[in-house]
Amino acid sequence: MSEKFQPYISKENKEIDFESKRLQFWLETVPPDVRRIEYDLWKRYRTLHHLNLHQFEHKEKKGRFTVTPQYSPGQEEIDWKEFSHTFLTGEDRQKRFRDIIKQTETDLPKIFETLGDDLQQNVLIVALTGSTAYGPRKLGSRFSDTDLRLLFDVADDSLNTEIMPNAALKELGTPYHIIGTGTTDTARGPHSDIHWLLYPHYPLQNHLSDTELKKIIANLVDETQAKSDTLKNRVTELEEIITEKRKGVIIG
């Protein structure tokens, strides 16, 4: 592990410019079959989120009955359109992303202070992930957090940590969702089927050499491919959950 921050290196042995090629490293290091299952999982989880939110907000009390509405294909289309419209484009996208990077780098000392010395001393990578990395979304969009991930220098989950938005760092004003994990699939944490390092991310700090980083990623790819049947079953399970919940329910 290097004390200095190390760049991410492309297959052409050049430093990657994440400002202009944000997905390059992901495309070069994560094979198509893993990327496909990532998308399949993300789409189902996002649909389920839209469904749950719609039914929660439109639940009605009718006499002694509580009516949870159906979730129609038409409503699903509306929700996906509204979600897609929260993402910035063009120069607005670039400016917002630069602002997020600047603010996060400013806040990192306070974030590390909150984590404590033991965790801070074991940080290998600090990165922006989720819609923050591949978006970002418009400022103030609903459920739009700044997703920050930490990679710790351990193979197990002994240092795994999570800080929810508006919790310990509420005074910073930015709703950070921070998750720190170890370097293996078994240390990926309880809220993800695939390790975050295999998703698109924007590194703010990296203490690993190119060889060390790509070895960790290659091992994660191997571990993820080895459980491909489990992941495909999870996609099917999510589809079944969505199908059942679409029907709505009357309780009384």
- The 3-state DSSP class for residue 147 equals strand
Over residues 213-251, the pLDDT tens digits come to: 999 999 999 999 999 999 999 999 999 999 999 999 988
The answer to whether the beta carbons of residues 208 and 125 sit under 8 Å apart is yes
The answer to whether the beta carbons of residues 136 and 100 sit under 8 Å apart is yes
Over residues 76-113, the pLDDT tens digits come to: 999 999 999 999 989 998 999 999 999 999 999 999 99
Flag whether 124 is in a domain: yes
Flag whether 2 is in a domain: no
Over residues 26-73, the pLDDT tens digits come to: 999 999 999 999 999 999 999 999 999 999 999 998 888 999 999 999
Flag whether 1 is in a domain: no
pLDDT of residue 135: 83
Range of the domain at 240: 24-251
Q: What is the number of domains present in the chain?
A: 1
Flag whether 170 is in a domain: yes
pLDDT of residue 105: 94
Flag whether 120 is in a domain: yes
Output DSSP code: residue 205: E
pLDDT of residue 1: 52
The dihedral through the CA atoms of 127, 3, 28, 185 has a sign that is: negative
Query: How far is Cα 126 from Cα 12, in angstroms, rounded to an integer?
Result: 24
Flag whether 77 is in a domain: yes
The answer to whether the beta carbons of residues 224 and 231 sit under 8 Å apart is yes
pTM value?
Answer: 0.92
The dihedral through the CA atoms of 53, 58, 61, 66 has a sign that is: negative
Query: How far is Cα 216 from Cα 229, in angstroms, rounded to an integer?
Result: 22
The answer to whether the beta carbons of residues 129 and 199 sit under 8 Å apart is yes
Flag whether 10 is in a domain: no
DSSP per-residue codes, 28-83: HHS-HHHHHHHHHHHHHHHHHHHHHHHHHHT-EEETTEEEEPP--HHHHHHHHHHH
In sequence order, the 6+-apart residues with CB closer than 8 A to the CB of 207 are 1, 2, 3, 4, 5, 6, 123, 124, 125
Over residues 150-195, the pLDDT tens digits come to: 999 999 999 999 988 866 677 787 888 999 999 999 999 988 999 9
